[in-house]
Structure 1
Amino acid sequence: MTSVLRRSLDEGIVDVWFSFTNDNRLKSAKKGYEDMLSVAEVEQYQQLKHVDNGWDYLVSRALLRTALAEYCELAPQVLEFRANDFGKPELSNSSVSPIIQFNTAHTNGLTVCVVTRDHAIGVDAESRAETPGILDVAEDYFSALELQALKSREESQQLDYFYRYWTLKEAYIKARGEGLSIPLHDFSVTLGDDGEFREFVGPEAESWDFRLLGQNSAYTAAVSMNAQIAGLKFIHSVPLGPQSEQRAADAFNQGAIQADERRRDIG
């Protein structure tokens, strides 16, 4: 019998679910989020609480579970996961497990879950911290083609473009699900004059597609899929609360506004 998705998901469409972890509406659902966790997740949550990352982890798991429950026949707290040899998770107890493909990323203040059907997918999100020396990392992780392109940009643009290359490359690594066994120097992403993804240079290049999900003063995010990306749907979610579909141009902007306000308060 063919499994039917509760929420429709057409071939090539990527649903991008996201939450801002400093959203005040999340606090009232904390108990509900904790009740969703598996035994292993509770253990991880307790460990992270001691290093101030517990809340972001809790919200990221709640987003993942509530988002996937939209497509499955199971409640969020019943979903079970298994991981491949490199740690990439997949559903293990749902009839839609072979159909639904997903990946998650979280960074300071933001958690993202991408969902598609049938094809391997990966996502990366990075907060735009002005970390001293961050551009020096490019020498260790970017290909010669990417380094040349990055250095050809105006100095004022280089940090923006660094994060574009970085998130696109990380999304690909996560989609492949083979960890850092894939040398980062051995493949390249290229960007057009508008800063958007243009071409992938690497193994089975014709099978892979990429998109920058957004870039603003707070965050950069990107997705990679082992098939043509036909479209993106952005869903701002408060797990166990309201959801709202957003235009691509508006996604993650609330987080940028909040980050800018925090910077002004600190200043």
Structure 2
Amino acid sequence: MISAVEKRQSVAGHVDVWYCFTDDHRLNSRLDQYETMLSSAELQQYQQLMHGSNGRDYLISRALLRTVLSEYCGYSPEKISFCVNAYGKPELINDEGQGQIQFNTAHTSGLTVCVVTRDNDVGVDVESRAENRGVLNMADDYFSALELQALNARSDDQQLDYFYRYWTLKEAYIKARGEGLSIPLHDFSVVLDEKGAFSEFVGPEADRWDFDILCKNPNYTAAIAMGGKINSIAYFHSIPLGQEVELSAEDAFNHFPNNVSGQRNRMIG
């Protein structure tokens, strides 16, 4: 646990992106320690899941969130407390006198992600990339007319990739707003440029919101939405209570290499 003097600093407009592959064998020796971090409610949830395929992912996702937030608020991971808003979005309780730490988490099969910034609402979504074109049928139910037109204009070999880009950007926005599915998915649009990067948001308070696609490799797609300008992003691969490595945007979200040029190591938790 780092001391309060060493607390990680963050500023509005900067986003730290933390991630962990939940099938990493280095996590195995730490699972019992992760369990001791959980609140009673989290422990109950974990016990309901632990005998199924989702139990490990849930436990590691909570451990990642708690060890990451401990770096920013100066509390040990097990002492961090959460509340939720009326729609269930979690918020940090013990954030006294430090400005408002904003965070959000997402996980999919094999990967958990946590994003942290200051002051601005933030949301993240990550999806495991299935090579099943059947998911494209969901677009009619969840995408706006503008998004559907843009998706259908893509070539057949691009459509699945772009589906996940639209999907994660929209989900990240919903999560950042923290109002659940009270926000109709047809009522706002994200626009991508010719290279598939975020270009424009068409929706409420459009000038306020900014987006970025964090990961678009063959295995995963991840995106963030923030209620303010995204000025910079840093990426960290983390083993909770173990090693942290800062990576470039190009190297992030690839299965962890033994040696990465320019990596920065430290122990966290």
Using the size of structure 1 for normalisation, the TM-score is 0.92
**Which whole-Å deviations, capped at 9, do the CAs of 1:42-97 have from their partners, x for residues lacking one?**
00001112332000000000000000000012100000100001110011123157
Question: In structure 2, how many angstroms separate the alpha carbons of the residues matched to 1:130 and 1:230?
Answer: 33
Q: Which residue type is aligned with residue 199 of structure 1?
A: E
Q: Which residue type is aligned with residue 37 of structure 2?
A: M
Q: Secondary structure at the match of 1:217?
A: coil
Question: In structure 1, how many angstroms separate the alpha carbons of the residues matched to 2:74 and 2:26?
Answer: 27
1:10 — aligned with what?
11
Shift of 1:215: 0.5
The size of the alignment, in residue pairs, is: 254
Q: Determine what percentage of the aligned residue pairs are the same residue.
A: 62
Equivalent pair of 1:5/1:72 in contact (CA under 8 Å): no
Report matched runs for 1:37-56 at 5 Å. Answer: 37-56=38-57
2:70 — aligned with what?
69
Question: In structure 2, how many angstroms separate the alpha carbons of the residues matched to 1:5 and 1:167?
Answer: 34
Q: Which residue type is aligned with residue 91 of structure 1?
A: L
1:81 — aligned with what?
82
Report matched runs for 1:1-267 at 5 Å. Answer: 6-95=7-96, 99-131=100-132, 133-254=134-255
Gaps of 5+ in 2: 258-269
Equivalent pair of 2:121/2:227 in contact (CA under 8 Å): yes
**Which whole-Å deviations, capped at 9, do the CAs of 1:156-177 have from their partners, x for residues lacking one?**
0000000000000000000000
Indicate how the Cα distance of structure 1 residues 4 and 77 shifts in structure 2: closer, same or farther if over 3 A, else same. Answer: same
Question: In structure 1, how many angstroms separate the alpha carbons of the residues matched to 2:133 and 2:212?
Answer: 27
CA RMSD in angstroms comes to 1.6
Q: Which residue type is aligned with residue 58 of structure 1?
A: L
Using the size of structure 2 for normalisation, the TM-score is 0.91
Question: In structure 2, how many angstroms separate the alpha carbons of the residues matched to 1:19 and 1:215?
Answer: 16
Shift of 1:253: 1.3
Deviates more, 1:179-188 or 1:122-131: 122-131
Q: Which residue type is aligned with residue 47 of structure 1?
A: Q
Equivalent pair of 1:188/1:201 in contact (CA under 8 Å): yes
Equivalent pair of 1:138/1:147 in contact (CA under 8 Å): yes
Gaps of 5+ in 1: 257-267
Q: Which residue type is aligned with residue 25 of structure 2?
A: N
Question: In structure 1, how many angstroms separate the alpha carbons of the residues matched to 2:135 and 2:146?
Answer: 19
Question: In structure 2, how many angstroms separate the alpha carbons of the residues matched to 1:10 and 1:97?
Answer: 11
